[in-house]
Structure 1
Amino acid sequence: MLRRTLLCTAAALLAAPALAQDSADPVKVGFVYVGPVGDGGWTYEHDQARQAVEEHFGDQVETVYQESVPEGADAERVMTQMALSGADLIFTTSLGYMDPTMNVAEKFPDVKFEHATGYKTAENVSNYSARFYEGRAVQGLIAGEMTETNTIGYIAPFPVPEVIRGINAAYLAASEVNPEVEFNIVWVNTWFDPAKEADAARALIENGADVILQHTDSTAPHAAAAEAGDVITFGQASDMSEYAPSPRVSSIIDNWAPYYIDRVQAVIDGTWESQSVWQGIEEGMVGIGEITDAVPEEVKADALALKEAIASGETHPFTGPINRQDGSVWLEEGETADDETLLGMDFFVEGLTGEIPN
């Protein structure tokens, strides 16, 4: 009887590592970044979340990262190196990493992958993103109420659904409070290039924009606005508070830390499963940074009210009546856009001028 008990106990101990990560062996977590960790925006916030993972788990976790990795073959090489070096979980943090992530994941079925802002999954690949368009709506309201020239400049990186959603949401919110507003969009074809971003901001300002919105990742547009004077800006992905209280009057803040901690914990516990996650203001993945004193109190109150209405579900930034750019009906009165349409959005709403590049 004693021998049988000992054998059962030994078998249970041998089986335990298959259910959860060996507590004596730290989980190795890799991060692949499209920009430098000091970009002050997108990559900066992802790296802040990586550091939060280290602080939360201590010796249970080892993290590694590679910054400024181009989207494409270089990304696949970096991910492969991380997997070969023993990474248990790899976060790939840019849209253009989607296919490289899928390719590498197929070669390393025992490694877990988390891809940001894409739509593909596999047994060992999850995707996650934030509803940035909710924050863009809040920014658009402030922009629409504060512009004096009725011209708002928008620096756009690539014509992908995430960016198009943001432009549409900002415009709809701005035009609701200011029907005279116009958006001037400059496509820079990069997520991070301070020189291009600064040039785009200057061109927009020269053409009458007194508000600059951006979906690019550097603080260069804020510096250009500060030089010009009488122009306001909004932080992208991070608070960019070094330019507060003006020209940066508020910001969208990407808060990845809770998600990263949760997913690392799942690997430790042996409960990680593939999933698709799209969270917004309500869940805290999208934050609205401090609205500074450069914003009039009544405008600030309107912006905070919109933020709370979005968080509670009372308001959705895409609620009809809304037409497409060509005047055809998209959403009827009271109708709300479904996630499938939003995830594939490839059109401008009525009132926006210019074409979406191919």
Structure 2
Amino acid sequence: MKRRTFLANTAVAGAAMASGLASRAMAADPLKVGFIYVGVPGDGGWTYQHDQARQDLEKHFDGAVKTSVIENVPEGADAERALTQLALAGNKLIYATSFGFMDAVISVAKKFPQVKFEHATGYKLAPNVSTYSARFYEGRTVIGTIAGRMTKSNKIGYIASFPIPEVIRGINAAYIAAKKVNPDVEIKVVWAYTWFDPAKEADAAQALIDEGVDVLLQHTDSTAPMAKAKDAGIIAFGQASDMAQYKPTPRVSAIIDNWGPYYIERTQAVIDGSWKSKNSWYGIDEGMVKIGEITDAVPAEVKAEALKVKDEIASGALKPFTGPLNKQDGSVWLKDGESADDGTLAGLNFYVEGIKGDIPK
């Protein structure tokens, strides 16, 4: 779905909501919508951004929707208990906002067929389960361009969470973009094995700084790496949210997850009875991935180049995974001019040529 279609649908949803509000005003109870978070809104990143979208949802429906949240839910059996608790509490729509909730969502959905479930970044569907994700790799192509231009040591650090395709795509995209503008660049990856643990994230950042990186990227949820970057005098990028408190440096730009329009659209679909199970994967063009302000710490020509990359991705003129590209072992992956399709990207499980180190099993 293109941006204009996505935004048009949101506008239609708003119009439908207006009439829906009138009818719901006569109803006894608002629609109950539940959320489970893998972290806490205070993380300043992933969960913070989902909670901002939840607040946007309540504000948009102005009393016709009531939300409830269970925070800091570990991925596994605890997630199944939390989802069950929300379903038993009368929530007719539940958003599960982390990849590791996937099996729990599928299990609980079978027990509550009248409840609609929306699972972030997963891939398992059911008649009452949809999945949604953002093309984060598009944003990493933009910031990778800035990183490649601005590194002086030619060493970029990357804090990775778990070795799933979403994270591997991001590492590859950032490296490909950086390498395109700086052939001498290398990327160093530290796996934190957590989405949100400020102490572990800080340790991972320090390990990379000790290796001489002067640009730091992350696919974890807290601002702890940003604080380490500030102490070390290197640059970094906001992850999931703007992390604006660290402007103008070390935070020189950010990848911002914009979930609000999607939550409004899908909640409206439950209200008007049009909700159907589907997989949604939106990016810069549709507005689900945004690039935060590029500060004046970035040279004007580099800023212009990064914004050009952003615009070309939005228009479809640039596809981040376009050949010639080889796999890490040197074998051909994409021929010259060939672009990876969504199916390939959804299951991406290897590094591209030039990235050193192994992906954990």
Does TM, scored on the shorter chain, surpass 0.5?
yes
Structure 1 Cα separation of the partners of residues 29 and 314 of structure 2:
40
| Match among 160, 185, 188 for residue 156 of structure 1 | 160
C-alpha separation in 1, matches of 2:148 and 2:172: 13
Alignment correspondent of 1:3: none
Aligned to 1:267: 270
Q: Residues of 2 paired with 1:247 and 1:203: CA distance?
A: 17
1:228 matched to 2:232? The reply is yes
1:319-358 equivalence runs, <5 A:
319-358=322-361
Using the TM superposition, name which of 127-136 and 23-32 deviates more: 23-32
CA distances 1:27-58 after superposition (whole Å, capped 9, x unpaired)? 00000000111100000000000000110001
Deviation per CA, 1:127-152: give whole Å up to 9, x if none.
Answer: 00000000000010000000000000
Do the aligned partners of 1:32 and 1:69 also contact (CA within 8 Å) in 2? yes
What is the CA RMSD across the aligned residues, in angstroms?
1.2
Cα pair 1:23 1:60 within 8 Å, conserved: no
Pair 311,23 (structure 1): closer, same or farther in 2 beyond 3 Å: farther
2:28 maps to what in 1?
Answer: 24
Q: Using the TM superposition, give the Cα deviation of residue 225 of structure 1 relative to its aligned residue in structure 2, in angstroms.
A: 1.0
2:107 is the alignment partner of 1:103: yes
Residue 59 of structure 1 aligns to a residue in which SS? coil
Structure label with greater radius of gyration: 1
TM-score (norm 2): 0.93
Q: Structure 2 CA distance, aligned partners of 1:290 and 1:105?
A: 40
Secondary structure at 2:127 match in 1: coil
**Aligned equivalents of 1:24, 1:274: Cα separation in 2:** 27
Q: Which residue of 2 aligns with 1:179?
A: 183
Q: Which runs of 5+ in 1 are unaligned?
A: 1-19
Aligned residue in 1 for 2:123: 119
Q: 2:136 aligns with which of 132, 135, 159?
A: 132
- Kindly state the Cα deviation for residue 270 of structure 1 after the two structures are TM-superposed: 1.1
Report the Cα offset of residue 350 of structure 1: 0.3
Identity of aligned residues (%): 68
* Residue aligning to 1:77: 81
In 1, the alpha carbon distance for the partners of 2:167 and 2:274 equals 33
**In structure 2, what is the equivalent of residue 11 of structure 1?**
none
Query: Which residue is equivalent to 2:45?
Result: 41
- The aligned residue for residue 16 of structure 1 is none
What is the rounded CA distance, in whole Å, between the counterparts of 1:162 and 1:228 in structure 2?
Answer: 28
> Do the aligned partners of 1:157 and 1:163 also contact (CA within 8 Å) in 2?
yes
Q: Which residue of 1 aligns with 2:253?
A: 250
- Displacement after TM superposition at 1:24 (Å): 3.4
Q: Distance in 1 between matches of 2:274 and 2:121?
A: 23
Distance 1:357 1:289 in 2: 31
- Please give the TM-score of this superposition, normalised by the length of structure 1: 0.93
Structure 2 regions of 5+ residues with no counterpart? 1-22
Quick one: distance in 2 between partners of 1:228 and 1:345?
33
Cα separation, 1, equivalents of 2:27 and 2:317: 45
1:257 & 1:23 partners in 2: Cα distance? 25
The question of whether the paired residues in 2 share the 8 Å contact of 1:114 and 1:127 is answered with yes
Contact 1:152 1:209 in 2 (8 A): yes
- The corresponding residue for 2:96 is 92
Instruction: Measure how far apart 1:72 and its partner are.
Output: 0.3
